[in-house]
Amino acid sequence: MALILATDDHGEPEIFASLQGEGPSQGRPCAFIRLSRCNLACLWCDTPYTWHFEGDNRPHRGGETYVRKANQVSLAPEDAAARIAALGQPRLVVTGGEPLLQAPALARMLDRLLALLPGIRVEIETNGTVAPPPALDALVAQYNVSPKLAHSGNPADLALPPERLHAWAAEPRAALKFVVAEPADADEVLALAQRYAIPRERIWLMAEGTDAETLDARERWIAALCVKHGLTLSKRLHIGLYGDTRGT
């Protein structure tokens, strides 16, 4: 049972050390592993090389499709765990793509990693549509859940399944991070918060954008909304530090 990873610019598995750029742990040093494949197709996705392969007709604003063979690599869970452990970081961020699509192999990898580095804290970044099975859930300290709003281009019945939103709202380990591009997107967030009883102290608003100028402009009005409604602003620190690049 192998893990399917994305590749970096050199064709190697995208496993690296950096600072967490988003959400509750932003600014903290972490190891990262980026898994390939996704069950959604966001128009503005900043990692389309994890899913928008040749023959995939789902729309993406960049228009580019990627050669699967050049952008995916298989690793045994034990190999992936060893590579992560060698980075010596205090926490791991599992990102994608949608990591929970590979839950059995991911659980096997985390079990091995926690044996190598018993104190490492594991975060999983997820679009929130897939339930983590118990064997994986027991190994996770934090979920960074990013439900996709209407402007993502995904049908609501796929992107916002009610049973999952109810479950995440009740899960204290889950921070819900919403990507917003216009004030109307924040209105959608507030409606979801009311409908599913999501505690506002666990809601993060993050500007959509892959360049510092766009992010700065949007964060100004997002900040005001956060103050007004008791929400939290998430930066995208890695964009300012490294640009929109792989392995950062």
In DSSP notation, 39-97 reads S---TT-S-GGGT-BTT--S--TT---B-HHHHEEEE-HHHHHHHHHHH--SEEEEESS
Ranges of residues in the chain with a pLDDT under 50 are none
pLDDT at 1: 87
Question: Two tokens at 14?
Answer: 């995208």
Give the count of beta carbons closer than 10 Å to the beta carbon of residue 236.
24
Residue type present at position 80: A
Alpha-carbon distance 236 to 84, whole Å? 23
**Residue of 43, 239, 37 whose CA lies nearest to 126:** 37
Q: What is the CATH number of domain 3-176?
A: 3.20.20
DSSP label at 242? H
Using CA atoms, how far residue 56 sits from 4, 48, 234, 246, in Å, is 18, 11, 31, 21
Using CA atoms, how far residue 226 sits from 1, 201, 208, 219, 233, in Å, is 43, 10, 16, 10, 6
Assign 3-state DSSP to the chain and report helix, strand, coil percentages, each to 5.
Answer: 40, 20, 40
pLDDT by residue (tens digit) across 10-46? 999 999 999 999 999 999 999 999 999 999 999 999 9
CB 50 within 8 A of CB 97: yes
- Alpha-carbon torsion angle 169, 51, 93, 107, nearest 10: 80
pLDDT at 62: 92
Q: What pTM does this model have?
A: 0.97
Using CA atoms, how far residue 191 sits from 135, 136, 148, 173, in Å, is 33, 31, 14, 22
pLDDT at 59: 94
CB 21 within 8 A of CB 243: no
- Neighbour-count burial of 242, counting CB atoms closer than 10 A to its CB (0-12 exposed, 13-18 middle, 19+ buried): middle
Q: How far is CA 150 from the centre of its chain?
A: 18
CB 15 within 8 A of CB 84: yes
